[in-house]
Structure 1
């Protein structure tokens, strides 16, 4: 028995292909962002060795997608930005649209292929970051660090010993919550025969869409030129649509609402983002952490994730360089999460009319204030100002109800 145990230990040691101080599991937005920050040379700071583990081509890799966020004119990833806008518009179900200039901010779009290309070029010249293509099977704490068991594209089992692991893969299931909605969407990159788009203005929310029984729906238009745009149909609701349902909704929106005329679909994207008041665990072992959407970087009330990822990975990189325990910080403040929980409950219960609520906010408050609010960068008195422009009765009832609601597992897709 002892001999078999010793042989097993020796086989495991021979199976270790890499040792590193940091292992990053997953090369989506969060994994690439953290690797990119750790690849930088910071004067006076020690750079940890990093292995970035990316899944082989196939279903475990994240699909191509578009990320949007707002920040001042100059940004870290501007070389990968497809387009940006300083003029935003929100269209209510009827009546005039709310429009505003958000300067000095810019609303930016990055396509995942361009982001991955930019980061890959920078990582290629890094002496501290190595990339590994493999399927991660388990991640576990071991004395002094963690062990990542993986399988390479040839089917061979390997193991990676590391001090810290940052896992950015989507969790297998969502934690129990009082309210969970899904932000699910389907988008077309289109080219029209007529010059129908205004390249200087992005439609953030267009509520001239049929509304679901629970939650809300809206259109989303990001022009790339006079003839080209990303046009999406989005719902906040408990369940996603079928492929035919999304296609029907987009045909109706592009034909009957936007009146785009003849168009050609250049490419498509689909996504589902959980909007939940569940606490997302950021530390799941002594040396194992979650980052990105899996680590709570998504803003529960909006689904925006990219900016939260940048705040989270910046803090992790700084902690690693200082030799501190690199627990990812919350991407959003406790006050922001509490307000989001109230909004989600009001929308999920049907007490609040979503299109009316958002239309009123954008019509009565400066968009710069609302964007800072959505980024968690407002002060208490500004949060109160935003709150007073929501339907106070339904929001207050939802807030009081939250104290008594049990957290339940999400029976989702």
Structure 2
């Protein structure tokens, strides 16, 4: 192939993050399409290594890249009382982006019809018989690729209009302590003992890897992100004043911001151009969880591709999105106390059912029961208010990739 020539693939995947890699993984596993994945070249556009976490029951094809897992989960209420649950058959799993990238790149190389292209995408558009991607190679040469379908995972330049715009923003330290301070069998999903902001909520997040190593994060749900200095201060306070970790070394950091909004994300950007990942609405609005929805959607797209169908299913059902819109608004207005709300869910709802609820796979009857564990009047008042609120845009926020 020479620069400027049009190269053909069945599928072009734009972006090598969680959504792009997951779709390439499922498509090459099905073996029914030639796949080109376009990733940014080395430089400022290429993201640093990050972690993706999710819960799953049984095998899901990612066992080779799961670097740690936990069968026991814990939530600390703002009052300091812990809630410890074992949500069998689910386990909480961590995937490091570098491990996943190596696995998918190797699968593409061995597939015979797959490849990875390092380039900067300039335009994506539908053309007769498919779609066209114009990109620039690291040497400055231009290249055009054509495909029957293009799946674009790049963040949108601005979020769609919404009634509620919040961010889940976080910074994490991979720490090594001088003594054994962690129980590697228990993951702390939410620790509300941290000081709470004036607006929104905050929590700590601890994933122990060994007795003396863990990923420790400080997370907020609020309208705007913090400065790096503010995250560092919050993490230092959490590690020393709440976890009492003592002397430690920060070996690696990660930081990001995830949109939590009731915006409607269109999944189609042209006749043969589709959006996936956060840009396609895969992020669960009220929790920020993305990775599990990306896996479900990727499997469904691969099955549709194998059947000769050009469809992209919705990452979340309408009922789940409607409930999330109510909760987001209730949190944003302060009608609902966030730490109390989430802690009570873990205290009152069976853990396995709650995780299915957070993934959007519960029945209407189960959801009715879960709803009885939430503050009724604030939620009802918010639900009654929503139809009368207009959807508005907010400025772009430099989003990161969800670690969940």
- Asked if 2 retains the 8 angstrom alpha-carbon contact of 1:185 and 1:232, the reply is yes
Which residue of the partner structure matches residue 56 of structure 1? 41
Say if 2:10 is the partner of 1:21: yes
Which residue of the partner structure matches residue 154 of structure 2? 169
Map Cα deviations across residues 56-92 of structure 1 (whole Å, 9 max, x no partner): 1123223321111000143311111111001000000
Say if 2:348 is the partner of 1:364: yes
Query: So what's the TM-score if we normalise by structure 2?
Result: 0.96
Which residue of the partner structure matches residue 285 of structure 1? 270
**Structure 1 residues 50 and 95, CA, compared in 2 at 3 Å: closer, same or farther?**
closer
Say if 2:65 is the partner of 1:80: yes
- Asked if 1 retains the 8 angstrom alpha-carbon contact of 2:3 and 2:141, the reply is no
Shift of 1:400: 0.7
Which residue of the partner structure matches residue 33 of structure 1? 22
SS at match of 2:384: helix
SS at match of 1:284: strand
Give the 5 Å matches for 1:179-194.
Answer: 179-194=164-179
Query: So what's the TM-score if we normalise by structure 1?
Result: 0.94
Say if 2:51 is the partner of 1:66: yes
Give the 5 Å matches for 1:162-311.
Answer: 162-311=147-296
Say if 2:387 is the partner of 1:411: no
Distance (whole Å) between structure 1 residues aligned to residue 3 and residue 169 of structure 2: 45
RMSD in angstroms over aligned alpha carbons?
1.3
- Asked if 1 retains the 8 angstrom alpha-carbon contact of 2:200 and 2:221, the reply is yes
- Asked if 1 retains the 8 angstrom alpha-carbon contact of 2:71 and 2:88, the reply is yes
**Structure 1 residues 14 and 184, CA, compared in 2 at 3 Å: closer, same or farther?**
closer
Shift of 1:95: 4.0
- Asked if 2 retains the 8 angstrom alpha-carbon contact of 1:189 and 1:228, the reply is yes
Distance (whole Å) between structure 2 residues aligned to residue 37 and residue 347 of structure 1: 36
Which residue of the partner structure matches residue 114 of structure 2? 129
Moved more, 14-23 or 228-237: 14-23
Distance (whole Å) between structure 1 residues aligned to residue 248 and residue 3 of structure 2: 58
Map Cα deviations across residues 83-133 of structure 1 (whole Å, 9 max, x no partner): 100100000011421111111111001111111112222222111212211
- Asked if 2 retains the 8 angstrom alpha-carbon contact of 1:188 and 1:269, the reply is yes
- Asked if 1 retains the 8 angstrom alpha-carbon contact of 2:131 and 2:148, the reply is yes
Which residue of the partner structure matches residue 341 of structure 1? 325
Aligned partner (choices 297, 306, 313) of residue 321 of structure 1:
306
Task: State the aligned residue count.
Answer: 396
**Structure 1 residues 282 and 245, CA, compared in 2 at 3 Å: closer, same or farther?**
same
- Asked if 2 retains the 8 angstrom alpha-carbon contact of 1:238 and 1:412, the reply is no
Shift of 1:399: 0.6
Map Cα deviations across residues 281-321 of structure 1 (whole Å, 9 max, x no partner): 10011111001111111111111111111111111111111
SS at match of 1:343: helix
SS at match of 2:29: coil
Map Cα deviations across residues 243-284 of structure 1 (whole Å, 9 max, x no partner): 100000000000000001111101000011000100111001
Highest CA radius of gyration, 1 or 2? 1
Shift of 1:218: 0.2
Unmatched 5+ stretches in structure 1: 1-12
- Asked if 1 retains the 8 angstrom alpha-carbon contact of 2:119 and 2:135, the reply is yes
Distance (whole Å) between structure 2 residues aligned to residue 162 and residue 120 of structure 1: 19
Moved more, 119-128 or 99-108: 119-128
- Asked if 1 retains the 8 angstrom alpha-carbon contact of 2:327 and 2:379, the reply is yes
Unmatched 5+ stretches in structure 2: 398-404
- Asked if 2 retains the 8 angstrom alpha-carbon contact of 1:281 and 1:296, the reply is yes
Distance (whole Å) between structure 1 residues aligned to residue 222 and residue 25 of structure 2: 35
- Asked if 2 retains the 8 angstrom alpha-carbon contact of 1:16 and 1:161, the reply is no
Aligned partner (choices 370, 383, 391) of residue 375 of structure 2:
391
Distance (whole Å) between structure 1 residues aligned to residue 101 and residue 3 of structure 2: 32
Shift of 1:378: 0.6
Shift of 1:137: 0.3
Distance (whole Å) between structure 1 residues aligned to residue 396 and residue 376 of structure 2: 30
Distance (whole Å) between structure 1 residues aligned to residue 211 and residue 87 of structure 2: 21
SS at match of 1:115: helix
**Structure 1 residues 412 and 352, CA, compared in 2 at 3 Å: closer, same or farther?**
farther
